């Protein structure tokens, strides 16, 4: 976005998130960015840290050179640290990292080593600062997310059904479930902002059934609402068929095929949004360059199905779809947690 005078409330929003992270003046803080990072968000982070009198320095890496093949968007797996061993060591030795990489460190290969060092990572999604300011996390979101996490960890089966004939079953035993409420105040953890979501990474062979994406559902990799029906058939985690005759189905088939990687068809994670402040119309209100779609992932009552990397099932791939679905009923061991797209 073009640089302009910064709104004071944008700086306030960054300060508030860092306060929730219990950032102390004596901590070692690193701002991590790359050459393609959103400049205004980098500037806002530095201004907020300066206002808080935090000690920080900035690691700015060159963005990876674009490679032939599929265009990567919203993967959650930044490649900016690939081969940057010195930077990884510095990050692992820090206390607090403000992650402003374009794709984020959520699924990056180096993240485990950084967290093992005791650093906590606050990923600020590559969003327009107006969206970030609208979605400053609220303290009560932590308890809401924790309750959802507890339900998932106690469940043996998740089912997802809809009037559009979605009928999905997920074996939850052994799944790794994480909840993101929008800040991190504990060593060795990662959070992202915007937030308000619970996701489970099923073990291998746990996901079977049928997903029917209808007009109005969202494809956040393509940053567009579905305009035609697409049907996924899932067998033992993998999308075995992409049905549909419209442009949406053709785009998805072509994109998945381009990776020439079976893991691009695999299930990454499943979950649902818990944030009542997240707006359904947000994807229509920003230019594609000004949104990463994180708000739609957190929108209260959506069912989020994602393909691609799942480190808990031993799978890594650059292919990734985040696909929030509307009007679904999600049940854990028969108990509805979302009914027809509304939190139960």
pLDDT digits (tens, 9 = 90+) for 186-217: 999 999 999 999 999 999 999 999 999 999 99
Q: Quickly state the pLDDT bin for 113 (edges 50, 70, 90).
A: very high
pLDDT digits (tens, 9 = 90+) for 173-188: 999 999 999 999 999 9
CB 118 within 8 A of CB 91: no
How far apart (Å, rounded) are the C-alpha atoms in residues 10 and 187?
Answer: 26
| CATH, domain range 8-134 | 3.40.50
pLDDT digits (tens, 9 = 90+) for 235-290: 999 999 999 999 999 999 999 999 999 999 999 999 999 999 999 999 999 999 99
pLDDT score at 315: 86
Average pLDDT, rounded, for the chain: 95
How far apart (Å, rounded) are the C-alpha atoms in residues 70 and 205?
Answer: 26
What residue ranges do the domains of the chain occupy? Answer: 8-134, 141-179+194-343
Which one, of 282, 9, 257, lies nearest residue 129 by Cα?
9
How far apart (Å, rounded) are the C-alpha atoms in residues 90 and 133?
Answer: 30
pLDDT score at 2: 46
pLDDT at 97 over 70: yes
pLDDT score at 61: 97
pLDDT at 219 over 70: yes
How far apart (Å, rounded) are the C-alpha atoms in residues 158 and 220?
Answer: 23
pLDDT at 55 over 50: yes
How far apart (Å, rounded) are the C-alpha atoms in residues 113 and 206?
Answer: 27
High-pLDDT (> 90) share of the chain, %: 89
pLDDT score at 1: 45
**Residue 344 CB coordination number (10 Å):** 12
pLDDT digits (tens, 9 = 90+) for 128-172: 999 999 999 999 999 999 999 999 999 999 999 999 999 999 999
pLDDT at 90 over 90: yes
Q: Quickly state the pLDDT bin for 30 (edges 50, 70, 90).
A: very high
pLDDT at 4 over 60: no
How far apart (Å, rounded) are the C-alpha atoms in residues 108 and 316?
Answer: 9
28-35: average pLDDT: 98
CB 167 within 8 A of CB 210: yes
pLDDT score at 316: 82
52-58: average pLDDT: 97
High-pLDDT (> 70) share of the chain, %: 99
Residues β-bridged to residue 62: none
pLDDT at 109 over 90: no
pLDDT score at 5: 67
Q: Quickly state the pLDDT bin for 3 (edges 50, 70, 90).
A: very low
pLDDT at 106 over 70: yes
């Amino acid at each position: 976005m073009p640089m302009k005078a910064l709104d004071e409330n944008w700086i306030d929003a960054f300060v508030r998130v860092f306060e929730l992270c219990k950032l102390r003046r004596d901590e070692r803080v690193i701002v991590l960015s790359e050459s393609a990072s959103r400049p205004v968000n980098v500037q806002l982070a530095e201004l907020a840290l300066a206002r808080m009198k935090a000690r920080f320095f900035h690691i700015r890496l060159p963005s990876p050179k674009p490679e032939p093949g599929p265009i990567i968007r919203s993967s959650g797996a930044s490649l900016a640290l690939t081969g940057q061993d010195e930077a990884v060591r510095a990050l692992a030795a820090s206390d607090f990292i403000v992650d402003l990489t374009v794709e984020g460190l959520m699924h990056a290969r180096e993240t485990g080593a950084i967290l093992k060092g005791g650093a906590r990572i606050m990923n600020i999604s590559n969003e327009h600062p107006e969206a970030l300011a609208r979605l400053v996390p609220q303290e009560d979101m932590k308890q809401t997310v924790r309750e959802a996490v507890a339900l998932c960890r106690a469940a043996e089966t998740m089912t997802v059904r809809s009037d559009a004939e979605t009928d999905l079953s997920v074996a939850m035993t052994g799944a790794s479930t994480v909840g993101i409420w929008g800040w991190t105040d504990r060593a060795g953890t990662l959070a992202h902002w915007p937030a308000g979501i619970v996701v489970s990474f099923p073990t291998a062979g746990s996901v079977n059934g049928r997903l029917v994406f209808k007009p109005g559902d969202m494809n956040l990799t393509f940053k567009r609402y579905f305009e035609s029906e697409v049907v996924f058939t899932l067998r033992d985690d993998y999308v075995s068929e992409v049905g549909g005759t419209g442009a949406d189905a053709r785009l998805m088939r072509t994109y998945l095929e381009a990776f020439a990687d079976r893991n691009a068809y695999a299930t990454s994670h499943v979950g649902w949004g818990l944030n009542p402040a997240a707006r359904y119309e947000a994807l229509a209100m920003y230019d594609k360059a000004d949104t990463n779609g994180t708000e739609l992932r957190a929108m209260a009552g959506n069912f989020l199905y994602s393909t691609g990397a799942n480190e808990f099932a031993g799978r890594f791939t650059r292919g990734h779809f985040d696909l929030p679905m509307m009007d679904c009923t999600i049940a854990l061991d028969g108990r509805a947690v979302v009914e027809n797209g509304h939190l139960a």
